[in-house]
Amino acid sequence: MDTLSRTLLAVAYRHTGDWEWARDLTQETWIKVYDRISRYDPERRFSSWLHTIHRNGCMDHLRRPWVRREFTPGDDTVSRLAGAATDDPGLEGSPGRV
């Protein structure tokens, strides 16, 4: 794997928190670059153009409704977590602890 791909993979992982999604998004970026290479302006830096395509692809991924549902805790999760903190006898009377 070359340096550019490693950088793209790291950026995608920071966006998604999942290595499989990061690999998929990186591969999609290279496909988009291949499809759009005729639009590239050689007077500008290739890496800037590449990272713009990649960042936009990551953001598009995060905008998908099923991704937000998958990673957003529901009301029941929040309630359970809030209840767990108050039900723990070790936490009562301990100022500064949640």
Asked if 58 contacts 9 with a C-beta cutoff of 8 angstroms, the reply is no
At 80 the pLDDT is 57
Asked if 57 contacts 32 with a C-beta cutoff of 8 angstroms, the reply is yes
**What are the structural domain ranges in the chain?**
3-73
DSSP codes of every residue in 38-80: GG--TTS-HHHHHHHHHHHHHHHHHHSHHHHHHHS--HHHHHH
pLDDT tens digit string along 51-96? 999 999 999 988 887 665 555 445 555 555 555 444 444 444 444 4
Mean pLDDT on 13-37: 93
At 90 the pLDDT is 47
- Residue 94 vs residue 13, higher pLDDT: 13
pTM for the predicted model, two decimal places = 0.64
Q: Which two tokens stand for residue 56?
A: 């936009």
Give the N- to C-terminal CA distance of the chain in Å, as an integer. Answer: 44
CATH code for the structural domain at 3-73: 1.10.1740
Average per-residue pLDDT in the chain? 78
Mean pLDDT on 23-45: 95
